[in-house]
Amino acid sequence: MSAILSNKTVRIIPGFNLTLGFTLTYISIIVLIPLFCLFLYSTQLSLPGWIKLMSSKQFLIALSLSLTTSLASALLNSFIGLLFAWVLVRYRFCGRKLIDNCIDMPFALPTAVAGIALTAIYAKNGPIGQFFAFKIAYTPIGITLALLFVTLPFVVRTLQPVIADLPREQEEAASILGATPRQTFIYVILPAILPAWLTGFTLAFARGIGEYGSVVFIAGNIPYKTEILPLLIVTKLDQYAYEAASAIGICMLIMAFILLLIMNLIQRRLNRALTKVN
């Protein structure tokens, strides 16, 4: 009887064909078909139209602004998120649960509401903006702040479980063997958290490129100055240039895909290297 049970694979959700069919149908309707239609719609733009759009000054400035602000916010949040995750996992203090719940607020809060709040706070006469000699709202600095708010949970929630699973005995052993805190972090902690850290950075970067709601108010949508790619798409839609808007969307999609692909390859190599070391 025990032999029969051991040879039989027990599955929590039965019916492989049914579940696989449902999965493929769902992902097709929700993800693949809309993306295919976007590709299809963008093909209505002729090749000269594509070249003219991609080489236009407005598109290049918007692309540069999107990449730089997204990269800056992702890099900053990589370090801030690591600090948050480390404090929340390794220390016990009053209000820890409250701070932990606040990390998810950007997920729950409508991004447009966050954008309005940030604009009011960091405007020239706002509660915080009035203390700065330079403008924050309606500048790339304001856009970066909005992206910092939106992308923080991606880094924190990616790192938290990895830090929680990291054995403290390794740090204690390194300390007993004479390693300094810096050496312990570089040679013991960093290799373990690096794949998750890169994942959090990538997710934050990709989300920053496509973020619209929190940026639309604080950016001000000033052409050639604070116009990022999602805002440019809306501008094209307002001008009834649907093919151009689809083409810009395809560019953003390709950038996100390439970014995720590169990070997946890096993660695989890191995991293989770590497996060999262990």
Is the whole-model pTM more than 0.85? Answer: no
Residue 120: how many other CB atoms lie within 10 Å: 16
pLDDT along the chain (278 residues), means of 10: 54 76 88 85 85 90 92 94 92 89 86 87 87 88 92 92 87 84 87 88 88 85 84 87 88 86 81 69
The tokens for 84 are: 């948050």
The identity of residue 255, as a single letter, is: M
**Alpha-carbon separation of residue 95 from 83, 182, 208, 220 (angstroms):** 16, 28, 29, 36
Looking at residue 278, what is its pLDDT? 60
Q: Which residues of 73-93 are buried (b: 16+ CB within 10 A; e: fewer)?
A: bbebbbeebbebbbebbeeee
Query: What is the per-residue DSSP string for 108-128?
Result: HS-HHHHHHHHHHHHSTTSTT
How buried is 107 (Cβ within 10 angstroms: 0-12 exposed, 13-18 middle, 19+ buried)? exposed
Looking at residue 272, what is its pLDDT? 77
Looking at residue 81, what is its pLDDT? 93
Looking at residue 6, what is its pLDDT? 52
Looking at residue 144, what is its pLDDT? 92
